Structure 1
């Protein structure tokens, strides 16, 4: 399999001469956070993390993300955490986009290189450290697990995107494909974090309108995306949040593939209380 390139934020601060006009949009139905907003001054520190900083892309709040949080973490050499998450009942996905980390889950150590993906179940004991000589960067998606009586909790697993073959969507001649890290038939999971790829000219040919909430981080390429009633241009490094039932479609303009990391909530009844 061909090794992939992933856009990685580097921080810094724009010069005083830069124009203020940007593509950032925040509405009741969707948000677009362009790559230019990932500066040093918007990073967050987290408890019990050493030599690390985080860009927070999504968090539960009224009128925005309701089911998940999404960070991009940057860990300097020698940094990491033996107590990465202080919340209980929370599951995580870690996806490495630059460098290498040592991830330990329930006493078993795994080396995650670029493209490495880990699912960490709620209640697992885990730690992450960077014992290399270069910074490591990764996506970290968190969701409170929704147990169901009669279904076992999902197991931890580690894999690399480069070891998986994308699955083409029906009747698309391979221009629209999804790299699935979890079997869609496995109802133990209440979230999926996949990678979606469109070849140049590929489209979502209708306005998807569905109950699943989405977070999309553009890993590679560019496209024009339909969000609610608007068409917006997005490129590698941009982030999109889509509220449940927000109409969505896209057109991949090329010259290379358009790829994004996609979160969605799945496989559970709808809560009947607000």
Structure 2
């Protein structure tokens, strides 16, 4: 297993600036080559840290989540990482070592490590290692529902979660970190895996918004009406109802980190 992360740096002057990045009314495609040093941000309350903010709530587009790629130098981190007390989080470690404390409980995570942090939880994060810590961070404002308790925080790993095969196929599977039948969760953050030649065999068209960060492998991905070649480090940002499908290419599994909003009534007032 491998977990792609922005390459940083800056292309040299010989590189053709004509790129593949696309922003449309239905989707955005942000290729890995665009995630360079000059588009990083520093975060209040964090030390030794820079972040690529690759998705954020945007009126008329995708409105429910923000997605970051975060790089923390040795000794860096935050005692107050989350500024919004109503936010929940999903973290996936791409490389390095993470010391994560959630409500006073210590956790050590390495590549493939995953944490769900419940809304209102007290947490902090540091890099205790000798090399940079790189991780993906998805934030969402938790949506309470009458009679439904908030979910609890938990820590696991991509390496121990058994991928669930999709019906009628051995080549398409989803690693679900949270129980999909647990209605307390209003978002799912999963890893989808398609073996070479595997496909999503219909154009999915649905109410959920998506962030898809390619962790490994290559594919042809249908975004609205466009087939796009995608690979490690590329990001796809899909608004509700954008048609999508996929055909895995190459000779290794195609894997991506997937966000979607689930399990709540749509608001009727804007």
Instruction: Identify the residue that residue 161 of structure 1 maps to in structure 2.
Output: 158
2: CA distance between counterparts of 1:60 and 1:241?
A: 11
2: CA distance between counterparts of 1:236 and 1:18?
A: 19
Instruction: Identify the residue that residue 82 of structure 1 maps to in structure 2.
Output: 79
Write the deviation string for residues 125-156 of structure 1: whole angstroms up to 9, x where unpaired. Answer: 00000011110000000000011121111001
Structure 1 residue 47 and structure 2 residue 44: aligned?
Answer: yes
Q: Which residue, 219, 226, 230 being the options, matches 2:226?
A: 230
Runs of 4+ in 1 over 3 A off after TM superposition: none
RMSD, matched Cα: 0.7
Report matched runs for 1:61-100 at 5 Å: 61-100=58-97
Report how many residues are paired.
Answer: 270
Do the aligned residues in 2 keep the contact of 1:199 with 1:254 (CA within 8 Å)? no
**Structure 2 unaligned runs (5+)?**
none
1: CA distance between counterparts of 2:249 and 2:8?
A: 27
1:8 to partner: Cα distance: 2.2
Instruction: Identify the residue that residue 123 of structure 2 maps to in structure 1.
Output: 126
Scaled by the length of structure 1, the TM-score of the pair is 0.97
**Structure 1 unaligned runs (5+)?**
none
Do the aligned residues in 1 keep the contact of 2:62 with 2:240 (CA within 8 Å)? no
Structure 1 residue 141 and structure 2 residue 146: aligned?
Answer: no
1:14 to partner: Cα distance: 0.6
Report matched runs for 1:106-125 at 5 Å: 106-125=103-122
Instruction: Identify the residue that residue 243 of structure 2 maps to in structure 1.
Output: 247
Instruction: Identify the residue that residue 194 of structure 2 maps to in structure 1.
Output: 198
Instruction: Identify the residue that residue 57 of structure 1 maps to in structure 2.
Output: 54
1:10 to partner: Cα distance: 2.8
Q: Which residue, 7, 12, 21 being the options, matches 1:10?
A: 7
Report matched runs for 1:201-212 at 5 Å: 201-212=197-208
